[in-house]
């Protein structure tokens, strides 16, 4: 496929998503029944961001021009992609980058998300049958020329061992934090609640740790988080919330809570489902220095990722800060 046809196919996918056909709605319901964390609400939210941030025609054309993409690279390689399954369509950006680059790709879908992305490609192949030469789905990724793999710190050790002889991008556990100063408006706190609780907090761009000044008033934020009190009706989330609350009580640990989350003081930036960590800071500049490490995906707050935008990555927001297009063009 030449570059023009690749862009046309992505526009087809965008229009198909927006049309929201009965077949597509049934597919989304099937994905939810397979994985109860993938609620229809969050599947649609991800698709909204994909169509508005990644599949806008002029943005794709600008992206292609910026990276000087051509009809095909000088040497076409096969890139194996091991996708995560923590939130719906989490590997879409990797697929998009490899597809636009003109390289072939073989995708191993997560067992948690085996339907959604595959459905889009299958639908596109009806009008663009040649796409099946560039995008294939496989359980085994032996024989690829390069690899992009996303997983946990534990699985990353295996990826590094298996793929060490090949060009690769190996992604490990990451999470996001927010730096507050106490001057946030009610609207900003309302948006921060989305950064914390969208997708039940399962994404690497979800805020799981707050850094606040001493004597910070948590009540406005707890009130803002009440917009997610309906999570108590989600059995899997409620189980996690009840468990974290019980542990805090049994350990005689100081905590704050509403009906949707338990807040505790903890140094770890990684918090379990149903819990949010916080820490106090004295000097913001010193704090920011400590946050420049491989565990942090993004920082939310004044001067960083705007409130409410953590879960709305753009074409240029590369996971782990590694430019996927630069990697692909170096093959």
Q: Please say whether the beta carbons of 296 and 175 come within 8 A.
A: yes
Q: Strand 256-257 and strand 262-265: pairing?
A: antiparallel
pLDDT of 258? 94
Q: pLDDT digits over 72-88, tens only?
A: 998 999 999 999 999 99
Mean pLDDT within 11-26 = 97
- What is the CATH architecture assignment of 3-173? 3-Layer(aba) Sandwich (3.40)
How far apart (Å, rounded) are the C-alpha atoms in residues 194 and 171? 24
6-17 in b/e form (b: 16+ CB < 10 A) is bbebbebbbebb
Residue 311: HSE in the Cβ half-sphere, 13 Å Cα cutoff: 27
Q: pLDDT digits over 138-158, tens only?
A: 999 999 999 999 999 999 999
pLDDT of 210? 98
How far apart (Å, rounded) are the C-alpha atoms in residues 179 and 228? 21
Query: Confidence band (pLDDT; 50, 70, 90) for 259?
Result: confident
- pTM assigned to the model: 0.94
Domain segments of the chain: what residues?
3-173, 175-300
How far apart (Å, rounded) are the C-alpha atoms in residues 37 and 53? 23
Query: Confidence band (pLDDT; 50, 70, 90) for 110?
Result: very high
Mean pLDDT within 217-231 = 97
3-state SS record for the chain: CCHHHHHHHHHHHHHHHHHCCHHHHHHHHHHHHHCCCCCHHHHHHHHHHHHHHHCCHHHHHHHHHHCCCCCCCCCCCEEEEECCCCCCCCCHHHHHHHHHHCCEEEEECCCCCCCHHHHHHHHHHHHCHHHHHCEEECCCCCCCCEEEEECCHHHHHHHHHHCCCCCEEEECCCEEEEECCCCCCHHHHHHHHHHHHHHHHCCCCCEEEEEEECCCCCHHHHHHHHHHHHHHHCHHHHHHHHHHHHHHHHCCCCCEECCCCEEEECCCCCCCCCEEEEEEECCHHHHHHHCCCCCEEEEECCCCECCCCCCCCCCCCCHHHCCHHHHHHCC
CA torsion through residues 244, 247, 249, 251, sign: negative
Question: First and final CA of the chain: distance in angstroms?
Answer: 19
pLDDT of 247? 97
- What is the CATH architecture assignment of 175-300? 3-Layer(aba) Sandwich (3.40)
Query: Do the domains 175-300 and 3-173 match in fold?
Result: no
Q: What percentage of the chain reaches a pLDDT higher than 90?
A: 98
Residue found by looking up tokens 């939310």 in the block: 300
How far apart (Å, rounded) are the C-alpha atoms in residues 156 and 310? 24
Q: pLDDT digits over 35-58, tens only?
A: 999 999 999 999 999 999 999 999
The residues pairing with 170 across neighbouring beta strands, listed in sequence order, are 149
pLDDT of 55? 97
Residue found by looking up tokens 């073989």 in the block: 106
Q: pLDDT digits over 270-318, tens only?
A: 999 999 999 999 999 999 999 988 899 999 999 999 999 999 999 999 9
């Amino acid at each position: 496929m030449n570059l023009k046809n690749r862009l046309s196919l992505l526009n087809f996918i965008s229009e198909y998503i927006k049309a929201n056909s009965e077949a597509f709605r049934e597919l989304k319901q099937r994905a939810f029944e397979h994985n109860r964390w993938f609620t229809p609400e969050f599947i649609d939210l991800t698709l909204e961001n994909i169509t508005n941030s990644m599949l806008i025609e002029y943005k794709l054309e600008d992206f292609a021009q910026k990276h000087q993409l051509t009809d095909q690279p000088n040497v076409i390689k096969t890139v194996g992609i091991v996708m995560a399954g923590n939130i719906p369509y989490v590997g879409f950006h990797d697929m998009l980058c490899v597809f636009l680059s003109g390289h072939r790709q073989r995708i191993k879908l997560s067992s948690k998300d085996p339907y959604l992305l595959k459905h889009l490609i299958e639908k596109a192949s009806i009008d663009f049958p040649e796409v099946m030469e560039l995008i294939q789905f496989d359980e085994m990724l032996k024989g690829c020329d390069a690899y992009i793999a996303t997983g946990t710190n534990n699985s990353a050790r295996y990826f590094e061992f298996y793929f060490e002889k090949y060009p690769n991008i190996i992604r490990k556990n990451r999470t996001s934090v927010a730096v507050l100063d106490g001057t946030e408006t009610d609207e900003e706190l309302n948006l921060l609640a989305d950064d914390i609780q969208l997708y039940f907090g399962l994404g690497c761009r979800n805020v799981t740790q707050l850094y606040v000044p001493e004597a910070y008033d948590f009540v406005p934020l707890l009130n803002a988080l009440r917009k997610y009190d309906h999570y108590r009706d989600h059995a899997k989330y409620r189980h996690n919330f009840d468990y974290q609350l019980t542990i805090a009580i049994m350990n005689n640990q100081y905590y704050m809570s509403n009906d949707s989350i338990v807040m505790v003081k903890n140094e770890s930036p990684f918090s379990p489902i149903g819990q949010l960590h916080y820490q106090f800071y004295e000097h913001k500049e010193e704090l920011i220095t400590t946050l420049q490490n491989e565990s942090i995906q993004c920082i939310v707050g004044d001067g960083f990722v705007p409130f409410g935008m953590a879960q709305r990555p753009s074409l240029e927001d590369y996971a782990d800060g590694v430019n996927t297009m630069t990697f692909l063009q170096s093959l």
